[in-house]
Amino acid sequence: MSTDTRWLSTEESAAWVRLIAIAELLPGALDAQLLRDAGLTHFEYVALMSLADAPSRTMRMTELASRTNATLPRLSHVARRLEERGLIRRFPCPEDRRATNATITEAGLDLISEAAPGHVETVRASVLDALTPTQLEQLYEIAGAVLARLDPDERLTATSCQFSEGPAAARAG
Amino acid sequence: MSTDTRWLSTEESAAWVRLIAIAELLPGALDAQLLRDAGLTHFEYVALMSLADAPSRTMRMTELASRTNATLPRLSHVARRLEERGLIRRFPCPEDRRATNATITEAGLDLISEAAPGHVETVRASVLDALTPTQLEQLYEIAGAVLARLDPDERLTATSCQFSEGPAAARAG
DNA sequence: TCGTATTAGTTGTCTCAACAAGTAATCGCG
DNA sequence: CGCGATTACTTGTTGAGACAACTAATACGA
């Protein structure tokens, strides 16, 4: 019955409580702003951004699901809704006709281009602007160490560029 | 149209992507372990722990909702399910008969006592054991700075002791 | 080349959370 | 008092995600 549990020290408990509070609050804060200003959940925003950054603005459903930490059924439902709104298009993959490719449309690019500034502003206001440059570096290292446990094959962090002028640049291509 | 957006630098973007990946993955990891080993969601576990740590193991629904970042309707549904399972009990508050008090039962205390070691083990395996003592201290400071933005009145971090021998101690009381 | 296993996605079912509306008790002010 | 406003909570409805079952296409071994 393993009564030899290594309980948390005061320091560990305090840090953990704060981390879990962030994990609880952050998704809601991001969803709230994006839903209010662009009618998109954070998940939909990330999915659209991933497509915008992909070569030919196109990606396989499986690949997109992996990058966004979604199950394939979940992505399938979300993709149907985004397609109904005209933000993406789906078509069978020529090379492997089992597969489906998703492409972001012009309307989708328009939407994320409009949404990006407000989202970046929220990211700054809720997190980044609260940290010193030193803390930003520390956060990078700490989060890297944690993700080595939570996401060993780096599915979620493989995305090249989620911000800067990503969407606008994709636009020009 | 505010074209003067301060886009994220490379360092900011990298740290942000990692943080958001953690916020995405951590709740699922905690839910998975607790559901598998104790039949509880992480939310239910935190709610029960909050009650176990409260004076007389009792708390007002509104207070509990605030501490767990739940809306009152959500907590109401969850409390009904927990009550049906015999893990908590609800009764009208004597002082203010609009209010409802929730108390954790003996069965509830038993369950979280059994669940706590496995949960702590998961917390260690997924986060804490990946960090050096220095990084733990840095995480504490960083998370504090972020929560000053996300949770200004410290609703989520007000809980005294979520770990160590909290539940067992409450038991003796 | 036939048949089975595997891969890729979609669809259906159930559970849960968000939102809105409803109920009941208390407060506040004339 | 007494009546509207507020507070505390519950209930009903809608929508989204998890899981399992299903379809379709490909890979591969005999």
**Each residue of A128-169: pLDDT tens digit?**
999 999 999 999 999 999 999 999 988 888 865 456 555 545
The CATH number for A141's domain is 1.10.10.10
CA–CA distances in Å: residue A65 to residues A82, A172, B14: 14, 26, 21
Whether the per-residue pLDDT at A51 is higher than 90: the answer is yes
Predicted pLDDT of residue B2: 57
Predicted pLDDT of residue A153: 85
CA–CA distances in Å: residue A148 to residues A53, A153, B32, B34: 24, 8, 18, 21
In a domain, A150, yes or no: yes
Strand C contact at CB of residue A8, distance < 7 A = no
For B158, phi then psi, to 5°, come to: -75, -15
Distance A165 CA to D7 C1' (A): 48
**Cβ neighbours for B78, distance < 8 A, ≥ 6 positions apart:** B43, B44, B47, B70
Helical segments of chain A, H only = 10-38, 42-53, 61-67, 72-84, 106-126, 133-150, 166-172
In a domain, B7, yes or no: no
Contact between B143 and A11 using a beta-carbon 8 Å cutoff: no
In a domain, A106, yes or no: yes
Q: How close A70 comes to chain B (CA, Å)?
A: 10
Contact between B145 and A124 using a beta-carbon 8 Å cutoff: no
Predicted pLDDT of residue A73: 97
User: Can you tell me the distance from the alpha carbon of B29 to that of B126, in angstroms, rounded to the nearest whole number?
Assistant: 8
Predicted pLDDT of residue A157: 87
Domain that holds residue A113: 34-172
Altogether, the residues listed in chain B come to a count of 173
Predicted pLDDT of residue B158: 81
Altogether, the residues listed in chain A come to a count of 173
Which of A119-128, A160-169, B120-129, B147-156 is the least confident region?
A160-169
**Cβ neighbours for B5, distance < 8 A, ≥ 6 positions apart:** A116, A117, A120, A121
User: Can you tell me the distance from the alpha carbon of B35 to that of A82, in angstroms, rounded to the nearest whole number?
Assistant: 32
Mean pLDDT of chain A: 92
Whether the per-residue pLDDT at A55 is higher than 80: the answer is yes
The count of other CB atoms within 10 Å of the CB of residue A81 is: 11
Predicted pLDDT of residue A117: 97
Predicted pLDDT of residue A17: 96
Q: With contacts defined as CB-CB under 8 Å, which chain A residues touch B123? A: 8, 16
Comparing B133 with A155, the larger pLDDT belongs to B133
Whether the per-residue pLDDT at A126 is higher than 60: the answer is yes
In a domain, A1, yes or no: no
User: Can you tell me the distance from the alpha carbon of B156 to that of A28, in angstroms, rounded to the nearest whole number?
Assistant: 14
Rounded to an integer, the average pLDDT of A56-81 is 97
Number of structural domains (chain B) is: 1
pLDDT in tens, B13-43: 999 999 999 999 999 999 999 999 999 999 9
Strand partners, B60: B101
User: Can you tell me the distance from the alpha carbon of B42 to that of B50, in angstroms, rounded to the nearest whole number?
Assistant: 12
Residues 9-38 of A with CB under 8 A from B: 10-30
In a domain, A26, yes or no: no
CA–CA distances in Å: residue B135 to residues A72, A138, A145, A146: 36, 8, 10, 11
Predicted pLDDT of residue A173: 41
Strand partners, B104: B88
Enter the tokens of residue A85.
């709104």
pLDDT in tens, B59-115: 999 999 999 999 999 999 999 999 999 999 999 999 999 999 999 999 999 999 999
Nucleotide minimizing C1' to CA distance for residue A70 = D17
In a domain, B3, yes or no: no
Predicted pLDDT of residue A160: 54
Predicted pLDDT of residue A158: 80
- Residue with tokens 């990084």, as numbered in its chain: B135
Contact between A149 and B157 using a beta-carbon 8 Å cutoff: no
Q: Residues B146, A131: contact at Cβ < 8 Å?
A: yes
In a domain, A85, yes or no: yes
Q: Residues A119, A33: contact at Cβ < 8 Å?
A: yes
In a domain, B2, yes or no: no
Predicted pLDDT of residue A40: 97
Report if pTM > 0.75.
yes
Partner residue opposite B147 with nearest CB, options A6, A21, A164: A21
Distance A60 CA to D9 C1' (A): 47
